[in-house]
Structure 1
Amino acid sequence: MEEKKQNPQQLNIELSEEVAQGVYSNLAVITHSSSEFVVDFVRIMPGIPKANVKSRVILTPEHAKRLMAALQDNIKKFEQMHGTIKINPGFDPMKPPMNFGGPTAQA
C-alpha cells in the first residue's frame, strides 16, 4: 500500500460546521498591550444603543502584522476585480459606524 507523504509546509485546517457559519460584524475594536493585540468583532444594529461583542480574537504582535499584510493584499485584489471600496466622506476610524442608510423609523 502506497503511503501518501504530506508536505511539511502544508497545514491541514479543519472547519467545523458551526464555525463555518461565520459571525457578522460591522465594527472591529482593536486594543493592544506589549505582548498581544485584541480584536473584538461587534455587531451594531440601527436604533439599538447597546452593541455586543460577537467574537474576540487575540493575536501576537507578529501575527497581527501578518494579518494586516494579508488584509491589504486581499483588499488590493478585491478592488482590482470589483472597483474601489468607497468609504463615506468624513470617515473617522475612531468612531463606530452609526450612519445606517434607509428610512428613519416612525411610530
Structure 2
Amino acid sequence: MDNNQNPQDGNINIELNEMVAAGVYANLALVNHSPSEFVVDFIQLMPGVQQAKVRSRIILAPLHAKRVLSALQQNITNYEQQFGEIKEVEPFVLGGNNVQA
C-alpha cells in the first residue's frame, strides 16, 4: 500500500507492506522511559503459560509519546461515543518499574 500525496502540501508518503499490515496480536503492553525516550513493549501473554513473548517494541521520543497518548485518547473517546464505554478490569501486574497497559 502506498499513499502518494505531495509532501509540499504538508502530506507525507507512507508505505505499509503486507507483513506489517497484517499486524501482531498483543494483550499486554509494558511502558518504560528514560530522559530521552519511551519504550513500549507489546506482549502476547497466553493463559496458563509462564512464558510471554514480546511481539513488538516501539521506541518513541518524549514528544511523539505525548502525541500518541493524545491520538489514543481521542480515538478512545470516538470509540466510546460510537460503541459505548470500555469497561476497565484490574491490571495484570508484573514486578519491576514498568507500567502495564
Structure 2 partner of 1:12: 13
Runs of 4+ with deviation above 6 angstroms:
none
How big is the shift at 1:7? 4.9
**Counterpart AA for 2:28:** L
Q: Distance in 2 between matches of 1:56 and 1:50?
A: 17
Q: Distance in 1 between matches of 2:80 and 2:21?
A: 25
Structure 1 partner of 2:27: 26
Structure 2 partner of 1:61: 62
Q: Distance in 1 between matches of 2:15 and 2:52?
A: 30
Question: SS where residue 59 of structure 2 aligns?
Answer: strand
Give structure 2 stretches of 5+ with no counterpart. 95-101
Q: Distance in 1 between matches of 2:16 and 2:79?
A: 24
TM-score by length of 1: 0.78
Q: Distance in 2 between matches of 1:54 and 1:7?
A: 32
- Indicate whether 1:95 and 2:96 are aligned: no
> Which one has the bigger helix percentage?
2
Larger relative contact order, structure 1 or 2 (CA cutoff 8 Å, min sep 6): 2
TM-score by length of 2: 0.83
Structure 1 partner of 2:52: 51
Q: Return closer, same or farther for 1:13/1:48 CA change in 2, 3 Å cut-off.
A: same
Structure 2 partner of 1:100: none
Q: Distance in 2 between matches of 1:25 and 1:95?
A: 16
State how many pairs are aligned. 89
CA RMSD, 1 decimal: 1.5
How big is the shift at 1:6? 2.0
**Counterpart AA for 1:43:** Q
Tell me if the contact between 2:40 and 2:59 (Cα under 8 Å) persists in the aligned partners: yes
